[in-house]
Structure 1
Amino acid sequence: MKKLLILFVFFVSLAASAQTLKKFKLIDSATKEVIPFANILFSKTDFKGTSSDIDGVFYIPSHLKTITISYVGYETRVVNVAQLRSELIELTSKVSRLDEVFIDSENPAHRIIKNVVSNKALNNPENLNSFTYISYDKIYVDMDDTKPQSDTLKTTQSAFKDSYLFITETIAKHKYLKPRFTEDSIIATRTSGFKNPNFALLANSLQPFSFYKEHLNWFEINYLNPISKGSTKKYKFRLKEEFIKNNDTIFVISFEPKANRNFDGLEGLLYINSNKYALESVDARTVNSGKVEFKLQQKYSYIDGNYWFPEQLNFEIVIGEGFGSFKYIGKSYLSEIKPNASLSKKDFPLVSLTLSKNVGNKNSKYWDEYRKGILDKKELRTYVFIDSIGDKVNLDKVLALPQKLQKGRFPLKYIDIDLLNIFRANKHEDTRLGLGVYTNDNILKNISFGAFAGYGIKDKEWKYGGSIAFDVPGKKDISIALDYKNTIREVGTFSGNEIENPFNPRNWIAREMDAVESISFRTDMKLLRNINWFIGFNTAEIKPLYDYTFNQNNISITNYNNTEVNIGISYHVNEKLINNFGIITRLPSNAPILNLMYSRGLNGALDGDFNYNKLKFTLDDSFIIKGIGETTYKLDLGYIDSTLPFGLLFTGEGTFDKKLPFIVENYFQTVKPYEFLSDRYAHLFTTHNFGRLFNNKGYFQPDVLLHNNIGIGSLKAASDHQFIDFSTKEELFLETGLELQNILKIPYLNIGYLGLGFGAFYRYGYHHLNNSNDNLALKLSFGFSFR
């Protein structure tokens, strides 16, 4: 009886608690879209109140008789709660009056923005020593019915009228330890049409975690943050509204880029809380961003009476213009937030995104614990409709496609087609047509064997080879490969690498080749955070396919054998790896990348003819200069301690070819391919992108790039190399270029533009040529952009 009484009291208390708050949702009276961040005032005397969340939802005490609702751009409404017959409350938009005109020094919004900027370090959640939280993420894809659609898409839209095109939900545990240790552990995931749990997307991974960075990067475009240092000189700010909520003042400030700007900017509303001048919420969208529009909304809460932390994160990406636009909408809700959690480096795996066991087998009760509300009819219909399609066409097979394409292969049932061996172009072969096939996991798990063959149209020679590869199961991402190749290799390449990328214009002008028959062994592994290793062994018979003789100790050598051991180390600063479609993928980053490669030649080992030590070091990095643009640079160093044949030295750093005048990054543009020969060198390639200097509107919007490339090198015993022409860089080589990217833009698949650009480069200084016209290189550039 006592237990029954306790149970009765519990349910009565639960029911009473449920009746203490009433739930409502704000929407636009015309568009029916939700209205986030509106101010709801309970009383005009004590300023008690709340605000609508990102979904327009808010709660009020049940005893209230009236509430006052206000939002920028809408008529203020006093609501009699007793007269409401629905949870939906509509607000009517109003025609905005002209903003007051302020002299910058007198603009009250500027004082508030400057306080926000000065408190960024204090309020930025990523400056906490550590934190953990759980997120519920939902992403769905729909057609953008606000824009005209083609007849085909109208038919598709009709078929999906009661559902979205796609929906996925994810529950994840997140950990962070300053400065860069993160883990997103997926504990539940569900995706329409797919049964494979590897398809896990996090909504907060597609937008900035917080709104405090100097620049916000979307689709490789850096947007200047309106709360960055000195932003009052770049943005127009207006104090639209201020109100008191509880004991704090909320400042509502609009922002937009100033006229004649030369930066990529945002527009929207900032809600600033006088408590530490922190962001309470943000509603921002990109300005003039081409075929991809990005909108984000973020809501922050005050945690533990000490920290401002994101609570809700939404984004909307609209891709395409005119006849065929799609919306990608993501919602992320954070809970169980723990600032300064007890964490150490040992608590973080090498891969940032991990999947727990049974992530795809959670029941509805488990999902209901984390969902923000229940799924609506359209969302439920999407699962039913798309799942039925997935069962019929087996959409899970699609998961294998991006994994294979990343490796340059197309999967069939038992074999993969090597796409990189179908077609290749260079000046020695003209065109090479071929085929490569390799077994996949449907024959042997984690083991692949196969072969390739190709025929050069110009040299009329076959190239062929075979390999066996083994992926070691586990978290260290270890692979082992044994290869045999009878092929060609461009001179100057490092440690057995031949042409790999058929789409790189530099490979199209390759001419000087060695015929190479080789056997090689290589293992790649990831044993430490941020570091990738490889160890290899290679032995080869090499025959120059050009007129050449190497004089070694007064002995003329044409063909030779080479045996070497190779070690390579790559260090990625701020590396973030994710498990994407079942494979380990490195997320793009502007952080530095360092590569060190060492090769040891072994005289006498398997008939090897040379002893040597060869080193190559590269550093790739970029940084943003606010208001000026982005600088990228590559430092490239090489060293060999012995005299070696032409094919094993350093050359090929030039890209000047009148018949194929293309700009190739991190190469000299005014240098012929094999103009210089070195056994030690230092190169520095720099590019500064000023952005769209001319204007930010209209069709003519080229990016302006300034290139500066320098190099120096030397060569011992230059007379040992006979019957070839070359120079050395004993003195500093200098060239400068100006490039206009995307002068001509061609719409591509309604998602972006294929761009055609133009550049002019000039060499000067010690290596200036006698004929001035020979120092000038006019080149074309190709690219892809979303705007």
Structure 2
Amino acid sequence: MRRFSTVILFVFWSLSIHAQFIVEGSIVDAETKKALPFVNITFNNDLQLGTTSDIDGRFKLEHHSNLVSVQLSYVGYLNKNIALDISDQPLFLEIKKTDLALEEIVVLAGENPAYKIIRKAAENRNSHDPERIPAYTYDSYNKMRVFDQHNDPRKAESGLSHSATTADSIPSIDFYYTMMEVLSKIQYLAPDKRQETIIASKLSGFKDPTFVTAIAEIQPTSFHKDNFLILDKEYLNPISKGCIKKYEYRLEDTIYQEKDTVYLIRFFPRKNKTFDALKGVLYINTNGYAIQNVLAEPANRQKIHLKIEQQYRFIEDQKWFPTQLSFEIELAPRKVDTFTLEGKRYISNVNLTPDIQPKDFGINKITITDDAHQKDSTFWIQHRIHQLSAKEEKTYEVLDKMGQALPLDLIMAAFNELEEERIQLDQLSINYTQIMEFNLHEQFRLGLGLYSSYKWNPYFSVGGYFAYGFKDKTWKYGGSITFRPAPKKDFGFQISYVNDLLEPAAIIQNTHSLSKKVLPVQSFTRRNVLDQMDRTYELEISGYFRSFRYLRTRVFGNWSYKIPLYDYRFVSKGESMQTFKIARLGVQLRFAYKEDFVKMGTSNMSLRNRYPVVYLSYTKGIKGFLDGGFDYHKIVGGLETSFFVKGLGRTSCFAQAGWVGGETPYSILFNGRGSYDRWRIFLVKNTFQTMRPNEFLVNSFAYLFIEHNFGSLLFNTATFKPEVKVYQAIGFGWLDHPAQHQDIVVQDLRKGYFESGIMLSNLIRVPMYNFGYFGLGAGAFVRYGPYYLPNHILDNFAFKIDMTATF
């Protein structure tokens, strides 16, 4: 019996040793009831026994010791010690904000202890950058919601228990304005191949999931570059090289996690430092001095304001890798209302040694499977990180019914053909560029372009346009038939005809829709200053395709008949001509290395170009073919690029050169790319602002346009934030046979055309429904050098204004 009792006691003792005490719950702000991410949680006053909350404010800990108390600490909040009753779970814990100001720094003897930690983090930043990992794959679950202050899920749903919330004390609705879920697989191959495949998607109120691909691109990613991109604006990273000169840091807390130490460091811009800055909190882990968590937002609040939260974990004892990402975009169309777009990404199944090859990556950065929107409820229950709340389920129920009653999918589909410059209206599409225009020749031009949409037939589109000029009192029209044998591939061909006014001596004539897929789109506003026009009748057959992934090619053959609507004669070999028949064949190339695309409706929309884009066009004029009157060769090449310089702003460059060989009339040559007009003073990018539109004529040229935007680095106050931009333009051009061009004044610019300018954008900022600002800027440009105009000094100046939209 004694032996039996000893065995029983030993068994109970063994069970007690291995017993697991589990505690779980969530932590919120005591006043707002919003979930608090990355709160430092310690149990039993043991610094070695603890955890942190995740991006939803949730936490869970298993331990063999009985957990009797919990200590909470969080930057900007009062510490709290709470006695635990683990029988009452899940826990719902609240902490209160402190009144301590953000910039209130305690002056210590010697160097700020945070500086040493930040320097080490900056030194090790690149080694922890996920984009420097040779390859990886992972699964991602994304959830996005749109709500206002009355149905904020961060209040009512932040805890696993709702008894302590005050959500019912304010007016609310029982569903959100929008709800979206996306399940995707991501693969990456260094240095910059990344592809996301959406395998499941739900968007409340919509059956068509194509818009999901555009929304998926919103989520900010790695916090390991010199500059962090938020809403198309570059912010200086607080762990970049030299950041201590711009940012101030404060060591707020120290957390002990097993053998590692985590430092909580608050950062914000130094006083009297003008730059695009962030503020927030960094959690730096001594394991490689890596970022474990980060909370960040712009230091100066914007009309559309974004906050990010990121959590990293040490994966496979190899690399730090993001596991939870969150963002909030807040906007207030009225001061009494604040709307928030909240997005969360949960990363799982990370594989740092996948078997993937370059051939496994397609052209689109984000793709969506054909059955992504057809997944049933069982599938979603199996793959959600947290099951839907009652309010989320209600959102799908209400908005899906609304989507059946209202044409929500039709509204979304309107954007499916943007690359074709068309708005889709079910079976028809409208070309919005044909509706209205202003230029000196026609003054006011009104028109309409109607085409069959690719919803009607994904392989085929037919349509046309007409327009009327109120000054010249003439009609213009055109039409096209487009074939797309493989809609999912970048391949198609077209037959088109136009009877319209075209600019003579245009460097690139984007008359036909397929040319815009290859060549840089000419600035619409430059047409505003054009007076000299050719009445053009043109028939063209063309096709386009993509090869070598980044090369887009267009081939064409066309015949045109041009009638100059200005005084002009072309004299060649004793023959004088005033109208011209031209037959030609050509090829146009566009090479955009590593260009990112996203599938948007029926089109592949370009997201960004990280490398220079190169254009090349070759045209051969054929005399005698279809009564063509001119035999010539024409080559045009161009390069455009943009890059950010840390601490100085963004530089943009556009270079272009061309040559025509053979005797050709004015219409086939090149003009000087000028955009000056005394009364039309809007800035036209990549043109000579002080040059008159038809001031020069050349058959070979080289032009360079450089713009540098300092942003608001030089001036940045709460009410006055002009962006300083400087410009430099240089041009050379030669005309071989000027005597052939009669009844018109011609000159080339072989001596060099030089122009410089400065622009102050956003001098006047007008709020737009509290979403952002409409900005109006002003600047001046001056020409100098051999083509300085001697009659009056002001003839050499151009005063320009520009318009911007900022947040």
* Superposition TM-score tier, normalisation by shorter sequence: over 0.9
Of the three residues 386, 391, 395, the one matched with 1:382 is 395
Of the three residues 453, 475, 480, the one matched with 2:493 is 480
Structure 1 segment 120-135 matched on structure 2, within 5 A: 120-135=125-140
CA distance in 2, matches of 1:96, 1:30: 16
CA distance in 2, matches of 1:231, 1:542: 60
Instruction: Give 1:744 deviation, angstroms.
Output: 1.2
Q: Residue 51 of structure 2 corresponds to which residue in structure 1?
A: 50
Q: Residue 77 of structure 2 corresponds to which residue in structure 1?
A: 74
CA distance in 2, matches of 1:574, 1:702: 33
Instruction: Give 1:261 deviation, angstroms.
Output: 2.5
Secondary structure of the structure 2 residue equivalent to 1:511: coil
In structure 1, list runs of 5 or more residues that go unmatched: 1-15, 148-157
CA distance in 2, matches of 1:426, 1:96: 59
Instruction: Give 1:54 deviation, angstroms.
Output: 1.0
Q: Deviations over 1:743-787 (max 9, x none)?
A: 11222243222211111111112222213221111111122222x
Q: Residue 803 of structure 2 corresponds to which residue in structure 1?
A: 782
Instruction: Give 1:412 deviation, angstroms.
Output: 3.6
> Which residue identity lines up with residue 56 of structure 2 in the other structure?
D
Of the three residues 733, 736, 749, the one matched with 2:756 is 736
**Higher deviation after alignment, 428-437 or 49-58:** 428-437
Q: Residue 650 of structure 2 corresponds to which residue in structure 1?
A: 630
Q: Residue 61 of structure 1 corresponds to which residue in structure 2?
A: 62
Q: Deviations over 1:275-327 (max 9, x none)?
A: 00000000001122431101000000000101000000000001235244321
Contact 2:323 2:347 in 1 (8 A): yes
Contact 2:648 2:713 in 1 (8 A): no
Relative to 1, partners in 2 of residues 1:521 and 1:199: Cα closer, same or farther, differing over 3 Å?
Answer: same
CA distance in 2, matches of 1:441, 1:241: 58
Relative to 1, partners in 2 of residues 1:395 and 1:258: Cα closer, same or farther, differing over 3 Å?
Answer: same
Relative to 1, partners in 2 of residues 1:742 and 1:381: Cα closer, same or farther, differing over 3 Å?
Answer: same
Relative to 1, partners in 2 of residues 1:46 and 1:109: Cα closer, same or farther, differing over 3 Å?
Answer: closer
Relative to 1, partners in 2 of residues 1:475 and 1:436: Cα closer, same or farther, differing over 3 Å?
Answer: closer
Instruction: Give 1:479 deviation, angstroms.
Output: 2.0
Q: Residue 583 of structure 1 corresponds to which residue in structure 2?
A: 603
Q: Residue 90 of structure 1 corresponds to which residue in structure 2?
A: 94
Contact 1:495 1:599 in 2 (8 A): no
Instruction: Give 1:160 deviation, angstroms.
Output: 6.7
Aligned residues: CA RMSD:
2.5
Q: Residue 6 of structure 1 corresponds to which residue in structure 2?
A: none
CA distance in 2, matches of 1:224, 1:338: 31
CA distance in 1, matches of 2:257, 2:510: 65
Instruction: Give 1:607 deviation, angstroms.
Output: 1.2
Structure 1 segment 601-640 matched on structure 2, within 5 A: 601-640=621-660
Does 2:185 align with 1:173?
yes
Does 2:682 align with 1:662?
yes
Q: Deviations over 1:325-360 (max 9, x none)?
A: 321100000000011322111111122211224212
Q: Residue 99 of structure 1 corresponds to which residue in structure 2?
A: 105
> Which residue identity lines up with residue 627 of structure 2 in the other structure?
D
Structure 1 segment 718-737 matched on structure 2, within 5 A: 718-737=738-757
Secondary structure of the structure 2 residue equivalent to 1:25: strand
- Percent identity over the alignment? 34
CA distance in 1, matches of 2:573, 2:763: 55
Secondary structure of the structure 1 residue equivalent to 2:765: strand
> Which residue identity lines up with residue 270 of structure 2 in the other structure?
K
CA distance in 1, matches of 2:45, 2:725: 57
Contact 2:588 2:617 in 1 (8 A): yes
Contact 2:326 2:343 in 1 (8 A): yes
Q: Residue 36 of structure 2 corresponds to which residue in structure 1?
A: 35
Instruction: Give 1:241 deviation, angstroms.
Output: 1.1
Structure 1 segment 321-340 matched on structure 2, within 5 A: 322-340=335-353
**Higher deviation after alignment, 459-468 or 127-136:** 459-468
CA distance in 2, matches of 1:17, 1:468: 76
> Which residue identity lines up with residue 630 of structure 2 in the other structure?
F
Instruction: Give 1:689 deviation, angstroms.
Output: 0.9
Structure 1 segment 374-453 matched on structure 2, within 5 A: 374-441=387-454, 443-453=456-466
Contact 1:310 1:334 in 2 (8 A): yes
Secondary structure of the structure 2 residue equivalent to 1:547: coil
CA distance in 1, matches of 2:454, 2:349: 40
Instruction: Give 1:498 deviation, angstroms.
Output: 4.1
Contact 1:50 1:58 in 2 (8 A): yes
Contact 1:170 1:202 in 2 (8 A): no
> Which residue identity lines up with residue 244 of structure 1 in the other structure?
Y
Q: Deviations over 1:391-427 (max 9, x none)?
A: 1113211221112455333434433233222222211
CA distance in 1, matches of 2:642, 2:323: 32
Q: Residue 124 of structure 2 corresponds to which residue in structure 1?
A: 119
**Higher deviation after alignment, 455-464 or 662-671:** 455-464
Of the three residues 307, 317, 327, the one matched with 1:305 is 317
Relative to 1, partners in 2 of residues 1:29 and 1:413: Cα closer, same or farther, differing over 3 Å?
Answer: closer
Instruction: Give 1:502 deviation, angstroms.
Output: 11
> Which residue identity lines up with residue 502 of structure 2 in the other structure?
R
Contact 2:214 2:600 in 1 (8 A): no
**Higher deviation after alignment, 203-212 or 265-274:** 203-212
Relative to 1, partners in 2 of residues 1:580 and 1:743: Cα closer, same or farther, differing over 3 Å?
Answer: same
Relative to 1, partners in 2 of residues 1:710 and 1:138: Cα closer, same or farther, differing over 3 Å?
Answer: same
Q: Residue 552 of structure 2 corresponds to which residue in structure 1?
A: 532
Instruction: Give 1:731 deviation, angstroms.
Output: 1.2
Instruction: Give 1:443 deviation, angstroms.
Output: 4.6
Does 2:294 align with 1:293?
no
Instruction: Give 1:694 deviation, angstroms.
Output: 4.8
Q: Deviations over 1:205-248 (max 9, x none)?
A: 31332100111222221111111111101111111111221101
Secondary structure of the structure 2 residue equivalent to 1:380: helix
CA distance in 2, matches of 1:317, 1:781: 27
Alignment TM-score, normalising by the size of structure 1:
0.92
Contact 1:226 1:266 in 2 (8 A): yes
Structure 1 segment 133-532 matched on structure 2, within 5 A: 133-144=138-149, 161-201=173-213, 205-320=217-332, 322-441=335-454, 443-494=456-507, 496-498=509-511, 504-532=524-552
Instruction: Give 1:721 deviation, angstroms.
Output: 0.9
Relative to 1, partners in 2 of residues 1:371 and 1:499: Cα closer, same or farther, differing over 3 Å?
Answer: closer
Contact 2:494 2:542 in 1 (8 A): yes
Alignment TM-score, normalising by the size of structure 2:
0.90
Secondary structure of the structure 2 residue equivalent to 1:390: helix
Contact 2:413 2:425 in 1 (8 A): no
Q: Deviations over 1:688-726 (max 9, x none)?
A: 111224532232221111111111111111111111113
Contact 2:758 2:779 in 1 (8 A): yes
Aligned length: 761
Contact 1:651 1:678 in 2 (8 A): yes
In structure 2, list runs of 5 or more residues that go unmatched: 1-16, 153-169, 514-520
Relative to 1, partners in 2 of residues 1:547 and 1:17: Cα closer, same or farther, differing over 3 Å?
Answer: farther
> Which residue identity lines up with residue 750 of structure 2 in the other structure?
E
Contact 1:288 1:696 in 2 (8 A): no
> Which residue identity lines up with residue 738 of structure 1 in the other structure?
I
Of the three residues 571, 589, 594, the one matched with 2:614 is 594
Secondary structure of the structure 2 residue equivalent to 1:320: strand
Contact 2:774 2:806 in 1 (8 A): yes
Instruction: Give 1:629 deviation, angstroms.
Output: 1.3
Contact 1:141 1:326 in 2 (8 A): yes
> Which residue identity lines up with residue 565 of structure 1 in the other structure?
L
CA distance in 2, matches of 1:160, 1:566: 63
Instruction: Give 1:492 deviation, angstroms.
Output: 1.7
CA distance in 2, matches of 1:242, 1:535: 65
